[in-house]
Structure 1
Amino acid sequence: MKKNILLAILSGLMLWIAWPPMPYTTFFLFIGFVPMLVAIENIIRSNYTRKGKKIFGTAFLGFFVWNTLSIYWVYNALKMVGEFVALPISFIPYSLGPLLMAAACWLYYRLRLVTNRGWSLAGLVCFWIGYEYLHQSWDLAFPWMTLGNGFAVAHQWIQWYEYTGVYGGTIWIWVVNVLSFLIYVGLREAADRKLRLRLISAFVIVLIGPLSFSLYKYHSYHEQPNPSNVVVVQPNIDPYAKESSIPAFQQLSILTHLSDSIGQPNTEFFLWPETAIPEQINEESVRTNAHFLQAQRFLSKYKNGNLITGAETFKLYNKHTTQTETYDPQGRLYYDNFNAALNIENSAEVQFYHKSKLVPGAESLPFAGALSFLKPVFAHLGGATGSYGGQTDPSVFYSQSGIGVDPVICYESIWGGWIAESVHKGAQFIAIITNDGWWENTSGKDQHVDYAKLRAVETRRWVCRSANTGISAFINQRGDIVQQSKWWVKTALKQDINLNSDLTFYVLYGDYLAQAGSILAVLGIVFIVVRKFRK
């Protein structure tokens, strides 16, 4: 059993070494699951009792090592609620993903009991995709560790994401790992020589085919000229000081000064980071808000200029209106708070977008319908947990000249399908506004900017990224970082980007691979149950 535990840990370490932002080691993704599969095979072929339990525990351990080493920085983000509380809470994201991953391996074992190894391995791929799709769709969503994200530092390898999205990467990784495992098992079991040759041939084709096609696409792809001048601003304001020691007007002065320092007469878009306007704004009276007027005065110098900025906003209701609202007994009103993006222009028009992919616990109350009785508890704690409203559909900001922009706030940038919906609606480039300062100088900030490269490839859109403390960047339609800032510096960047209105296959059809895989996973579970009862 110790050998199997060591194999599981080896898998976890190999997958961690392959994970962004590690450079030059991405290829370990293609063999990282092999030791885990060998450990599971050893348990299946052993005389152990309760094999399912041992497989689940072994798999969980390996995946826990991988996840914890890759997203250790979650602890830093939670320290704002207190170090004593941060450590136990951080074990939720550290453990939840591995529990679902281990469940996929357990289902693979159950399938092995009723069918052969080949069909069971195909089922394992479907079970894994089903887990990933669930983990981006339910109230505890955290798709940070979706396997296809692992190619974020090697975007030249996956230019075909414009057809498949990240789930194509998940399937590629698993198929290569399964073939590697079968080759190893064939050598260990002295399988037929012709079978081994077929497996090796399949391994080479499956590995080299997509890679060659991607490199061809990367080097042959050319953007159509359609320039627009964009400025991204990085004010570098300590997130712990944003709402306490630095007045809002002073923060806006920093932003406007940095914008003016490189803005030019033909600049069409200025991007300020998430919650750049730190004081709450009533959306109904935004045009008379002092901070809004300060921002619009700055913009008056740029005739065709638009300002996309993060802000804290709220809406008031006279009666019960939404599922996320809070009741104020003193004012006898209901209200919703929003982590919002605003598009401000040289007119009376103001466009709002409410962040919709909310961080479970920090920004939204998971399973709010069933746990609504906890709302008074969170209100008593200052509303820090589960306190934001959102919207059900993505939005597109349109400038006066008709340019469509997809506003993306922080955590939302890891949802390829959500961004693809905005592009389908008319977005010609992607504007990400974020504040990664909570994570401090950890690999979390690097992973976040690397994942944005995948969105550029999937949609063939430029990504313009404004981050409060970094890393701000411009990413072209091939996924190349054309410009980027350093961490924890006050700066601004400008770039002529090319707008694009063409729609990729992925934009048109979204996460069809994940949906198909999930359906097959459900059918696999039904098959297991039916065969068990028939026995």
Structure 2
Amino acid sequence: MVLGAVLGALYPPSALGWLAPVPLGLLFRATADSAPRRAFRITWITATAMFGVMLSWLPQSLGAMLGWEVSLLFPVLAALLGLGCAAAVVVTRWAAGRLTLGALPLVWVLLDALREMGPLAFPWGGLGYFLSETPLVQVAEWGGVSLLGLLVGAAASAVAAWSWRGLWVALLWVGALAFGVTRPLESVGTRPALLVQGAVDPRAKVQADADREWRRYLSLTREAGVTPGTLVVWPEGAVPWPPPEGVRVPAETAVLLGASVGGAAPRNAAFLVRGDTVVGRQDKVRLVPFGEFFPGQARWPGLYRAVFRSLGLPALVGRVPGEAVRPVTLGAFRVGVLICYESVFASQARALVAQGANVLVTPSNDAWFGASRGAEQHFRMGRVRAVETRRWWVRAGNDGITAVVDPRGQVWARLPRFIPGTLPVAFSEREVLTLSVRWPGWVVWAALALVISGLYMRKVVHIFRLAHW
């Protein structure tokens, strides 16, 4: 349990994530030396403690918004996430035998990839993010966060083995570190943008006043005195769509705004608007489970109504996910829009850049995180998308985090949280395609191939020994 708590504390925004291979290596050693049943128990307890500390902001933020009763679900979530890790480790221990230490880094990379898939996807806890605050993050352009995770896992196995064979892992880390610290600095951006932070109480959104919300953001935008050609970004769900009669954005600039679309199929969307013209639209594809959609609500509507009633909430209706992602284009801008939660999905950022996006933009609403460290985790994980794709990343949050990040993952400017304001920034379009974009998921596929081939060879050797005997 102590090892898990330490791992959770080392997760971003901690700057000590590079130490994660030590407690993780001790876990690997304990599981490799144990029978499968004991390995399962050790891993489950450790991983549950890790997620418990890592996600400690969850009961704090949701409890403040929805009542303390919601906090009772938090131990269940941590235990389920820990169960996934324990299951992966025990299968590896059973199948790999003496090769467990070599297989565990590969299996953990596969496990992290699985957590990014499906409607209940939750990428928190990926090993690669332990290196997000270090110069080693720069190698993400070669293989994304999965390659970073492989570096962490390999180092953990080297710690567990504690032999001269671990020197090659140390050389890999030295090489990655050298690459990171010698990356040239980015020059100042050439394209102006204005990021608008409305700092609206999320509870006030439940009784949204369309005219009030539109005028709030238009007022902040106009007070900033934007010049023609400036890209203005409003947060996720900043306003309801369509705009009220007589309300329009300035015709001389483009506004990328987050909007809630009502009707029979409610959606969370981003619109690129100039005057009365909608230049482009992107619907949110990755919805937050149990936040923006409710799994099984159509099958068990009575159950959800009872839960909502017990929490003092109205009968909430889940949103409909978007069907595809594509850049939103305006002149030289080909904007890859990652709406809030989508910024933690490497696959979506890669897909947008592969389709031509030359800048990444995130309208977000982290107000439900409150003052917890959840918003910082969300932001630090999203910064890795800039490095993986070598794109500028522009982010406007309702109450923060509002910032601009360069292709090295460095923050150039940032607004304080919880106060309304605007942030003039600059960015540049980038056209280069990194290896991570050109060969998406190659680390995951390589890990899968190595695991399968390793298990096959172990079986062949076992059969050969039996035959020889």
Relative to the length of structure 1, the TM-score reads 0.79
Secondary structure of residue in 1 paired with 2:280 = strand
Deviations 1:61-109 (A, max 9, x none): 1111111111111224433774354123223432232111111221222
2:415 maps to 485
CA distance in 1, matches of 2:48, 2:224: 46
Residues 355-504 of structure 1 mapped to structure 2, 5 A cutoff: 355-366=284-295, 372-375=298-301, 378=304, 382=314, 384=316, 387-399=318-330, 401-504=331-434
The aligned amino acid for 2:293 is S
CA distance in 1, matches of 2:462, 2:40: 19
- Contact 1:14–1:28 (CA<8 Å) still a contact in 2? no
What is the CA RMSD across the aligned residues, in angstroms? 2.7
The aligned amino acid for 1:384 is L
Gaps of 5+ in 1: 1-8, 45-50, 184-195, 316-334
Change (3 A) 1:345 1:519: farther
- Does 2:41 align with 1:57? yes
1:186 maps to none
1:47 maps to none
1:97 maps to 81
CA distance in 2, matches of 1:32, 1:175: 13
1:249 maps to 211
Secondary structure of residue in 2 paired with 1:20 = coil
- Does 2:5 align with 1:13? yes
Residues 147-162 of structure 1 mapped to structure 2, 5 A cutoff: 147-154=127-134, 156-162=135-141
CA distance in 2, matches of 1:484, 1:466: 10
- Does 2:244 align with 1:312? no
Of 34, 37, 58, 1:74 maps to 58
2:311 maps to none
2:244 maps to 290
- Does 2:435 align with 1:505? yes
**Larger Rg, first or second structure (1 or 2):** 1
Change (3 A) 1:402 1:377: farther
The aligned amino acid for 1:395 is R
Deviations 1:94-141 (A, max 9, x none): 22321111112212220244xxx3x32222222212211111112321
Deviations 1:142-174 (A, max 9, x none): 0011111222222x2221111110000110001
The aligned amino acid for 2:121 is A
1:211 maps to 177
Gaps of 5+ in 2: 309-313
Of 143, 147, 159, 1:164 maps to 143
Change (3 A) 1:263 1:429: farther
- Contact 2:131–2:148 (CA<8 Å) still a contact in 1? yes
The aligned amino acid for 1:461 is R
Relative to the length of structure 2, the TM-score reads 0.90
Deviations 1:393-428 (A, max 9, x none): 2121111x2411111111100001111111111211
The aligned amino acid for 2:328 is F
Aligned residue pairs total 459
Change (3 A) 1:72 1:248: same
CA distance in 2, matches of 1:104, 1:525: 15
Secondary structure of residue in 2 paired with 1:458 = helix
The aligned amino acid for 1:502 is V
Secondary structure of residue in 2 paired with 1:242 = helix
Deviations 1:430-459 (A, max 9, x none): 111111111110110111111222111111
| Identical aligned residues as a percent | 21
The aligned amino acid for 1:135 is R
Secondary structure of residue in 2 paired with 1:496 = strand
- Contact 2:196–2:233 (CA<8 Å) still a contact in 1? yes
Secondary structure of residue in 2 paired with 1:32 = helix
1:38 maps to 29
- Contact 2:29–2:161 (CA<8 Å) still a contact in 1? no
Deviations 1:284-330 (A, max 9, x none): xx4xx416x52x2x413xx2x11111111145xxxxxxxxxxxxxxx
Change (3 A) 1:89 1:521: farther
Shift of 1:377: 5.0
Change (3 A) 1:313 1:167: same
The aligned amino acid for 1:228 is R
Change (3 A) 1:442 1:81: closer
Question: Comparing 436-445 with 11-20, which one deviates more in the overlay?
Answer: 11-20
CA distance in 2, matches of 1:88, 1:530: 49
